[in-house]
Structure 1
Amino acid sequence: MDSAVEPGDIECLRAEITGEVFVPGDVGYDDLTDLIVHTGHPAVIIRVRSNDDVARGIAFAVTHGLEISTRSGGHSNAGFSTNVGGMVLDLAHLNSIEVVDESRRLVRLGAGAKWDQVAAALEPYGLAFTSGDTTSVAVGGLLVGGGVGWLARKYGLAMDSLVAAEVVTADGCVLPAGAEANPDLFWAIRGGGGNFGVVTSFTVVAQPVPRVFFGQISFAPDETAKVLRGWAAYMESAPEELTATAMCWPTFGEATPPLALMVCYAGDDEAAARSAIDPIRKLGTVVDDQVRLMPYGHVLQPASALPKGWRPYVRNRLTPALTGDLVTTVLAEQANLKNLYVEIRSIGGALSRVPEDATAFAHRSTQAMIMGVLLGSPEGNEPLMPAYEAFWSALAPSMSGAYSGFLSNVRPADIDAVYPERVYRRLAALKREYDPGNIFHLNVNVVPAGAEQG
């Protein structure tokens, strides 16, 4: 146990908390320390059951000088959902899902609700909204970061559905956030991540999307460049109901694998879906076609188990134009790294209809996100970092910004890419107001205005 926390302190904490408190050596502690990729060893884990639990946990952490990790689903690529020697506020019990107004499609979600649970709960109502990729991703982290999901081109980011939230701030206050209540805080939590407090519940407007056409279309490997360029050109004018992602798998020194295009058509009109998807099928030689009609919740996949010792190195950048030349550059640079997985997500559409100053996510002209993932262990990838950096340097002239959710190592350059200067300045001023001590710093961090000078 961390030396700053005595057994008597833990007993007092347990007496104040309605949830469960775990410390090293407790039954169940080991099940809560590690994430999908990252390993932690916190001094204290609190599985909170209320806003009051969150507030008491924050106060305890401040008193004892413990770093705070907020965990909703534990999918943080950068490992922010756990730590060593600090406190984890685990929101898993805050997993309620309630349709509060069916006529207005208003849904209240607890921050710990998993996306497969949300999809299953909304399916009887014929509702859905942009979610994470996997079943075990939770609501909290995705909604405060943005949420680039399978309905993004039709309905925007997940956070664009948000109309209200509850936030427990650094001083333990529980604040509503919305267009009328604390609108600056509401602006900040939509894209500013967990910098301003622990967001415990969200009210969203869901969309009438009971079923979708979804699946993978694979193309002959020797046609990858031609198909990708054609796909990029087509998505400029494709119906907004169609969201698509290109998955360029690494060779690992073997034969080039097929190019995989994942497609999702938001709706169950077969003729309209075929009209939207067929132009992609005609781009090259299709070797596999798994597209079929399904409930929206079925597009979510379980998180893949990683080989022992692997810790993928993840980075992304956004581009306002996915051109043929950019595709050519991506493929040429990927060829220099046999274990580099490249994913290109076509976005645009509804994303661009939100004013750039409406939320702390300001990259509204984005047409695509390019993600590069070095697969393997940190030790194995260390010699490859110069080539990995060369990959991003080659793309840099065409990039504009980054998404906070797919970054495994957050560097100053990444923070600059996530938050344009004017956005950062506004966030820093709000950080000074809501978290002047920067106790919520395990995130894509914004430093309180003035703190740089001490």
Structure 2
Amino acid sequence: MTTLPSSLVTVTPADDAYRYLRSTYTTPHSPAQILLPSSPSEVQQAMAYASGTDLPVSIRSGGHGLAGTSSNDGGIVVDLSRMDAVTVLDRPTGLVRVDAGARWAQIAVALAPHGLAISSGDHGNVGVGGLATAGGIGWLVRRYGLTIDHVRAATVVLPSGELVRADEANPDLLWAVRGAGSFVGVVTDLDIEAMELPGIQVGQVVIEIDRDGRALVEWSRFLQAAPRELTMSGVLAASGGRLVLVLTAVFAGTDAPRAHAALAPLLARPGVHAGGLQNARYTDLVPAGHLHANVGQQPSATTNALLAAFTAESAPALIEIARHPSGPFVQVRGVGGAAADIARDATAFWHRDAEVLVTVTLFPPRGAGELAAVARPLWSHALGAYRNFESHPSEATFARAFPGATGERVRELARRYDPDGVLHRVFLPAPRELGRQDVKPE
């Protein structure tokens, strides 16, 4: 078995720092060792060591993953948090290199002086590695697209410890990194094209939701036709016995008349209430105040569905979910726009025709079993799902995220780059097992 060099920082249960590094955002854990590499070469050493054991192996960038698999019990965690550099490689093209252990709040701050931004999810504490290798449905998604759409290259350490480059010269690996990176290796840094963004405008919109969900359908149609600069995301919540959709509207740009004109058709509808749009910076959406240690403070069970749009059939299904006695927390995100510009087979993210993402969450004492029953009305209307908003990975959730030929290609690449399943000792079923008769779906 490979031994660890003394230069590689290692934290064990005997160390004071262990309590701050042991868990993820959603799940308390007790790993045997936490390895803290500070360079790709140290990641190589960490992976060569971990692969030589039969212990569970978790890779962590930010630790915000809902499934909690970026830590484990009794195994090894390779924590990339010491690798957090952000470098502007070429300002004219917006090409930026970001280390996988950086958090999106740090990146927003680093890019702001250059007038650049990367659409990067909705919380500043999320790590680069988990989001930028799975999708990235952020506050600017309709203008920018998914985060993975702008990944041009990446440095990857394979489970064997080999260091490789995912780029145009290695297209299969780059394809996997853009949507299914956790199946093939440990991404240590990514080259991403940022967008020009001198400023944004932000406002709140509240929509009263009728019993049949017509207001949801109308909002969906509005957003499909709206300028791409406008992205909206929010919560479907109960208010005095009624349902309201409480949205944050983000306009990517500083043109106030254009921003107000973009929202005007929605604000003219009955039952829609809004405050004025305010000038802001992207750093206000993913602020440094979001940064915190992850100590298992938010246990939850979450699933999601990507929809082509809200329809006369799917809107009532969502209302049924929102009114469930279990009291689910229901979030609604607009997608579409630039996210649909990329060919379906260009990345491992297949669902380019989705205009709406719905997430459904239950908190303890309710768990995954009850969540499946609560969310069931939506599945017959769904195109598929986004893997980052799934707390209990399974064969069924894999198929929703990676349908058909996309899933087969992910499996094949996982077998090629991780033949021993090192990266999936804490993720079951491993992709090389999917489709076997003895692996039961949820």
Task: State if a TM-score over 0.5 links the two structures.
Answer: yes
Q: Does 1:263 align with 2:263?
A: no
CA contact (8 A) 1:217 1:291 kept: no
* SS of residue paired to 1:322: coil
The one of 128, 140, 147 equivalent to 2:136 is 147
Q: 1:286: Cα distance to partner?
A: 5.2
Q: Report the counterpart of residue 31 of structure 2 in structure 1.
A: 42
1:197-276 correspondence runs (5 A): 197-219=185-207, 225-249=213-237, 255-256=241-242, 258-276=244-262
Give the Cα–Cα distance (whole angstroms) in 1 for the partners of residues 411 and 271 of structure 2.
51
Q: Report the counterpart of residue 148 of structure 2 in structure 1.
A: 159
Q: 1:156: Cα distance to partner?
A: 0.8
Give the Cα–Cα distance (whole angstroms) in 2 for the partners of residues 212 and 445 of structure 1.
42
Q: Does 1:352 align with 2:340?
A: yes
Give the Cα–Cα distance (whole angstroms) in 1 for the partners of residues 434 and 326 of structure 2.
45
1:93-104 correspondence runs (5 A): 93-104=82-93
The one of 184, 187, 190 equivalent to 1:196 is 184
Q: Does 1:395 align with 2:383?
A: no
Amino acid at match of 1:87: I
Q: 1:344: Cα distance to partner?
A: 1.5
Give the Cα–Cα distance (whole angstroms) in 2 for the partners of residues 327 and 450 of structure 1.
32
Q: Does 1:381 align with 2:369?
A: no
Q: Report the counterpart of residue 311 of structure 2 in structure 1.
A: 323
Moved more, 438-447 or 344-353: 438-447
Give the Cα–Cα distance (whole angstroms) in 2 for the partners of residues 35 and 394 of structure 1.
30
Q: Report the counterpart of residue 414 of structure 2 in structure 1.
A: 431
Q: 1:220: Cα distance to partner?
A: 5.1
Amino acid at match of 1:21: T
In structure 2, do the counterparts of structure 1 residues 306 and 92 end up closer, same or farther at CA, with 3 Å as the change threshold?
closer
CA contact (8 A) 1:318 1:403 kept: yes
Give the Cα–Cα distance (whole angstroms) in 1 for the partners of residues 79 and 346 of structure 2.
30
Q: 1:430: Cα distance to partner?
A: 1.4
Q: 1:352: Cα distance to partner?
A: 1.4
Amino acid at match of 1:410: P
Moved more, 301-310 or 54-63: 301-310
In structure 2, do the counterparts of structure 1 residues 36 and 65 end up closer, same or farther at CA, with 3 Å as the change threshold?
same
CA displacement, residues 117-138 of structure 1 (integer Å, 9 cap, x when unaligned)? 1111111111112112111111
Q: 1:64: Cα distance to partner?
A: 2.6
CA contact (8 A) 1:432 1:448 kept: yes
Q: Report the counterpart of residue 299 of structure 1 in structure 2.
A: 285
* SS of residue paired to 1:117: helix
Amino acid at match of 1:427: V
In structure 2, do the counterparts of structure 1 residues 409 and 453 end up closer, same or farther at CA, with 3 Å as the change threshold?
closer
In structure 2, do the counterparts of structure 1 residues 236 and 139 end up closer, same or farther at CA, with 3 Å as the change threshold?
same
Amino acid at match of 1:275: A
The one of 405, 413, 419 equivalent to 1:422 is 405
CA contact (8 A) 1:193 1:444 kept: no
Q: Report the counterpart of residue 23 of structure 1 in structure 2.
A: 12
CA displacement, residues 379-402 of structure 1 (integer Å, 9 cap, x when unaligned)? x215x945x434433222211111
CA displacement, residues 238-269 of structure 1 (integer Å, 9 cap, x when unaligned)? 11111112411257xx7446430111111110
CA contact (8 A) 1:223 1:284 kept: no
Q: Report the counterpart of residue 405 of structure 1 in structure 2.
A: 388
* SS of residue paired to 1:190: helix
CA contact (8 A) 2:233 2:332 kept: yes
Q: Does 1:67 align with 2:56?
A: yes
The normalised TM-score by structure 1 is: 0.89
Give the Cα–Cα distance (whole angstroms) in 1 for the partners of residues 279 and 297 of structure 2.
37
Moved more, 204-213 or 293-302: 293-302
Give the Cα–Cα distance (whole angstroms) in 1 for the partners of residues 428 and 340 of structure 2.
23
The one of 360, 380, 391 equivalent to 1:372 is 360
Amino acid at match of 1:213: Q
* SS of residue paired to 1:398: coil
Give the Cα–Cα distance (whole angstroms) in 2 for the partners of residues 37 and 226 of structure 1.
35
* SS of residue paired to 1:93: coil
In structure 2, do the counterparts of structure 1 residues 95 and 265 end up closer, same or farther at CA, with 3 Å as the change threshold?
same
In structure 2, do the counterparts of structure 1 residues 282 and 192 end up closer, same or farther at CA, with 3 Å as the change threshold?
same
Q: Does 1:107 align with 2:96?
A: yes
CA contact (8 A) 2:24 2:296 kept: no
CA contact (8 A) 2:25 2:295 kept: no
Give the Cα–Cα distance (whole angstroms) in 2 for the partners of residues 329 and 146 of structure 1.
26
Q: 1:225: Cα distance to partner?
A: 4.1
CA displacement, residues 394-438 of structure 1 (integer Å, 9 cap, x when unaligned)? 222211111011011112211110111211211222122111001
Q: 1:192: Cα distance to partner?
A: 0.8
In structure 2, do the counterparts of structure 1 residues 385 and 21 end up closer, same or farther at CA, with 3 Å as the change threshold?
closer
Give the Cα–Cα distance (whole angstroms) in 1 for the partners of residues 133 and 26 of structure 2.
21
Moved more, 442-451 or 295-304: 442-451
Where relative contact order (Cα < 8 A, 6+ residues apart) is larger, the structure is: 2
What runs of 5+ residues in structure 2 fail to find an aligned partner? none
The one of 75, 79, 86 equivalent to 1:86 is 75
Moved more, 323-332 or 132-141: 323-332
Amino acid at match of 2:281: P
What runs of 5+ residues in structure 1 fail to find an aligned partner? none
* SS of residue paired to 2:35: strand
Q: Report the counterpart of residue 13 of structure 1 in structure 2.
A: 4
Q: 1:218: Cα distance to partner?
A: 2.6
Aligned Cα root-mean-square deviation (Å): 2.7
